[in-house]
Amino acid sequence: MTFTDLGLDAHLVSRLNRLGFTQPTPIQTQAIPQALQGKDVLGIAQTGTGKTAAFGLPLVAALSTEKARPAARAVHGLVLAPTRELATQIVTTLDALTDSLRITLVVGGKSINAQVSKLARGTDILVATPGRLIDLMDRRAVDLSQTRFLVLDEADQMLDIGFVHALRRIAPRLRKERQTMMFSATMPKQIADLARDYLTDPVRVEISPPGRAADKVAQSVHFVTKEEKQTLLIDLLDGHRDDRALVFSRTKHGAERLMKQLERAGFAAASIHGNKSQGQRDRALAAFRAGSVRVLVATDVAARGIDIPDVGHVYNFDLPNVPESYVHRIGRTARAGRGGRAVAFCTADEMGELRAIEKVLGNRVEVAGGTPWSGQRDTQKPMAKRRPRRRPSRRPARLAA
């Protein structure tokens, strides 16, 4: 199967060839022909499978045939994404696909006045985070009445940021006669409800079962005390200092504290989280991509915005409260056909999270170290109040306050 077989025009296929893309991924193979026919599409596929091009190519193909340029403040195609990082990544991909279309990015953390000025000229494709788009709507800086294409990317994560309420404000501003595409890594009930409310007779394209992790990710879990986590992480990182590693922390303060501990241990580390400015986050990602930073500590704000093919290891220093977030986290490795490793740390009070993750995965995570707390990974009783017996002689120093 080639991109030509999917129905894309020769000019776009030639551009893909120059970019080094000659063979579509499974999600692209199934979604692009349906989208080119103008059908609404509901795409379910794990991260790293090429979903951006699956909606980006049909969007560029359709809008490239438009003879009239967008009017002032008007938008012809709208892409909504949950995070600044993902929105920026989408714009990078779309920019590579076309020279003729005007593509505009609007996200929080950037000058809203500069964004108002860009929108004043009109834009073919607007890529936005929901909150900033509503800010611009309130200022009457954007006109969505001519928007004929709507894309909701990583819709399941947007549910966590109050996206349903935002969509109820945004959708009525768009043309009723439009094509809508929604892509998600998982398929909780809320996504099915969104599809029913905002898509018309959608074609469902599902590449892998909801929650299934990338096939080439080797997953493992260590059962440790909270005090042992830092020492274990340093020991494991020390075994592959030349590789890029992404470490996930549950909290912003925890991520920053852990990053400083890793720096003291001699690692080239950086952090991204909600307390960082957009400029700081952009610089940290750029350094990680360039290789001057080898360990990036992040909260879930980064789980869907990092598209770096050679991240060899993902560490879940803290297990996420939402099991689907685990899938998104480990999807940062094993990208573009490569392999990768995902290592989780589990304390006694995280056994409930581990059980929920394994339920979503449909598999047990291989034990790499320690013993499941109380030997009861199958129990339904909460483990949060149980404290493990500690051995003072083996206990490492606590993390610095």
Name all domains of the chain by residue range, CATH numbers in brackets.
10-206 (3.40.50.300), 217-394 (3.40.50.300)
Q: Tens of pLDDT along 265-296?
A: 999 999 998 788 878 888 998 899 899 999 99
Structure tokens at 213: 């992790």
Report the C-alpha gap between 55 and 58 in whole angstroms.
Answer: 6
Report the C-alpha gap between 1 and 220 in whole angstroms.
Answer: 35
Output the pLDDT for position 208.
Answer: 63
Output the pLDDT for position 328.
Answer: 80
Which residues contact residue 315 at a Cβ distance below 8 angstroms, ignoring those fewer than 6 apart? 233, 236, 237, 245, 246, 247, 248, 342, 343, 344, 345
Q: Tens of pLDDT along 129-165?
A: 999 999 999 999 999 999 999 999 988 877 766 778 8
> Residue 354 CB: number of other CB atoms within 10 A?
24
- Residue 359 · residue 344 · CB < 8 Å: no
Q: Tens of pLDDT along 165-211?
A: 899 999 999 999 999 999 987 777 888 888 999 999 999 998 865 55
**How many percent of the chain have pLDDT more than 70?**
88
Output the pLDDT for position 376.
Answer: 46
Q: Tens of pLDDT along 79-115?
A: 999 888 889 989 999 999 999 999 999 998 889 999 9
For the packed helices 51-63 and 10-18, what is the interaxial angle rounded to 10 degrees?
A: 140
- Predicted TM-score (pTM) of the model is 0.70
Output the pLDDT for position 331.
Answer: 82
Q: Using 50, 70 and 90 to split pLDDT, how confident is the model at 399?
A: very low
Sheet holding 311-316, edge to edge: 269-272, 295-298, 244-248, 311-316, 340-346, 217-223, 366-369
